[in-house]
Amino acid sequence: MAQKKTSMTKKDKKPKAAPAKKAAAPKKTAPKKAAAPAVMQEEILMQALRGMRDILPDEQPYWERARKVLSHASQEYGFQRIDLPTLEYAHIYLRTIGEGTDIVDKEIYLFNTRGGDRVALRPEMTAGLCRAYIEHGMGVLPKPIKLFSMGPLFRYDRPQEGRYREHWQANFDMFGESDPILDAQTIQLAYRVVQQLGLKNIEFQVNSIGTPETRRDYEKALVRYLESQKQKLCQKCRERLTSNPLRILDCKEDKCIQLTAHAPQSLDYLDVESREHFKKFLEYLDELELPYSINTRLVRGLDYYTRTVFEIRSTDKDGKNYSLGGGGRYDRLIESLGGEPTPAIGFALGLDRIVLEMKRTQVKPYEQPKPKVFLAQLGEMAKKKSLKLFAELEKNGVLIAESFGRGSLKSQMRVANRLGVEVTIIVGQKEALDETAIVKDMVSGTQETVTQERLVDAVKKIIKANQILNA
């Protein structure tokens, strides 16, 4: 069927739609930056961490006396200095000190390095010494091998007077000999050190804890005794009863002290060899007339000790004891770390405690040598010349002071008077140009101008004359 055609007039025609405008391209904008995470502003505390401290200049004379005495004693007794790292692999301490000790369970600073190593800040020095002994093959050296070390230790303990989380210690250790005469010599050396530090009323408490084998029998007897009276122990010692019963003997709680006073004694469980060793050790102490007493409760709470153990104590007029250090034998420690069987003995002094005791007993601290000469200068050219003169005098053994920052001669002379020097050297603009110096005898008040070549001789001449005058 044919489709019917229809016509459409102009009126009927729909106007053509205007072409749609192209949509404007979206305006390019910079991508929004992600908001920076808020930075937490921590309060900056201008103080040392709890348990840490600064040893200030006014304390240093006590520390300097201690350092000098320790260094001199180590040389007299044939010890060689060794400095150990403060950071070691953690297993060195975890393996040697022993689980169940306060150091390992509560006090050691453990962490992982960025490389994934498990490390620890050293809580004591003996384990690190043994590691160094093995690592560097010291076993081939002539015996006994004597090593002296000094430095900071770290223990996360409750801070108190004389006990800090970072504290200083000096160690004397001897390797390679088991003869009890070395035990006695160790105490002789410790006594020498504390005496030279000016400390009096010193006593050594000594004991023998035998070998690890005999100590196991002793621990069993001790546990049996304490289990029957467990309720009388302090809470901490109840926990120690299963983890480290020997530490109960070292408890400072009155009720634990009273309870352990009647406990079994380690001396009753010694093997024949250990008993003979302890007997000879005491005979040596008697021969040396060293002040000691046997303390059967003394155990030194570290697993590596064998046979002889001791502590160094100072007693005040009221009978109160202050522990200054201690030590003992550790004949199995080198072997337990993979080395050859090597007997060893050593002791440590807590330097913080030592300094505290020096202050308590009013020990005279180390006195820094006072300068006998003062160098004063006036003007820029004189300052330049003075630096060279200062170095020349110091090189020739003249202990000299200066005040280069002070401008006026009057203020510099006040410093010289306060120091009580015997000679003052004055260099001004004229002296700098002439290469001379004014040398003033502060005792007689006389002065002369000398060439800089004759300066050292002129100064020494005045100092010598004053020594003769004061003799």
Count, residues in the chain: 471
pLDDT value at 31 more than 80: no
The H-or-E segment that residue 314 falls in is strand 306-315
Spell out the residues 6+ positions from residue 458 whose beta carbon is closer than 8 angstroms to its own: 439, 448, 450
pLDDT band of 41, cuts 50, 70, 90? confident
Highest mean pLDDT range out of 121-135, 259-273, 389-403, 420-434?
121-135
Sort 151 into a burial class: Cβ within 10 Å, 0-12 / 13-18 / 19+: middle
CA angle 401, 403, 408 (to 5 degrees): 135
pLDDT value at 15 more than 50: no
Closest CA to 168 of 246, 67, 270: 67
pLDDT band of 162, cuts 50, 70, 90? confident
Percentage of residues in the chain having pLDDT higher than 90? 42
Model confidence over 287-312: pLDDT tens digits?
A: 999 999 999 888 876 678 899 999 99
Model confidence over 63-85: pLDDT tens digits?
A: 999 999 999 999 999 999 999 99
**In this predicted model, which residue has the larger pLDDT, 34 or 440?**
440
CATH superfamily of 60-210+270-360: Bira Bifunctional Protein; Domain 2 (3.30.930.10)
Greatest pairwise CA separation for the chain in angstroms: 154
pLDDT for the residue 328:
94
Burial 457-470 (b: 16+ CB within 10 A, else e): ebbbebbeebeeee
Which pair of tokens denotes residue 120? 């620890």
DSSP 409: H
Model confidence over 200-256: pLDDT tens digits?
A: 889 999 999 999 888 888 888 888 888 888 888 888 888 888 878 888 888 878 888
Architecture of domain 373-470: 3-Layer(aba) Sandwich (3.40)
pLDDT band of 125, cuts 50, 70, 90? very high
pTM: 0.81
d(CA 91, CA 98): 10
pLDDT for the residue 144:
95
The H-or-E segment that residue 419 falls in is helix 409-419
Domain positions in the chain? 60-210+270-360, 373-470
Query: Helices 380-395 & 455-470, crossing angle to 10 degrees?
Result: 60
pLDDT for the residue 8:
41
pLDDT for the residue 256:
87
Closest CA to 356 of 204, 157, 163: 163
| Cis peptide bond prior to 144, omega within 30° of 0 | yes
